Amino acid sequence: MVAPEEISKKIFLEGKDLKKSFFLKGKEIKVFDRVNFSFENGKVIVIQGRSGVGKSTLLSLLGGLDRPTEGSISFEGTPFENCSNEELALLRRRKIGIIFQNFNLLSSWTAAENVEAVLMHSGVSESVRRQKVEALLSELGLADRLDNLPSELSVGQQQRVAIARTLANDPVLILADEPTGDVDPETAKEIIEKLLVLVKNKGTTLIVATHGNFSESWADQIYQMKDGGLEKK
Residues binding Mg ion (CB under 5 A): 55-56
Shortest Å distance, C-beta 68 to Mg ion: 17
Return all residues near 35 (Cβ < 8 A) that are at least 6 apart. 15, 17, 18, 19, 20, 58, 71, 225, 228, 229, 230
Nearest in space to 80 (alpha carbons), one of 32, 14, 11, 36: 14
Q: Which is nearer to ligand ADP, 51 or 82 (CB)?
A: 51
Out of 2, 3, 7, 29, the only residue in the binding site for ligand ADP (CB under 6 A) is 29
Picked from ligand ADP, Mg ion, none, the partner binding residue 3 (CB below 5 to 8 A depending on kind) is none
SS3 content of the chain, % helix, strand, coil (to 5): 40, 25, 35
**What one-character DSSP code corresponds to residue 21?**
E
Out of 8, 10, 17, 22, the only residue in the binding site for ligand ADP (CB under 6 A) is 22
Out of 37, 44, 48, 54, the only residue in the binding site for ligand ADP (CB under 6 A) is 54
Q: Which is nearer to ligand ADP, 18 or 142 (CB)?
A: 18
Shortest Å distance, C-beta 23 to ligand ADP: 8
Give yes or no for a contact between 101 and 177, defined as CB atoms under 8 angstroms apart.
yes
Interacting residue ranges for ligand ADP, rule: CB under 6 A: 22, 24, 29, 31, 49, 51-57
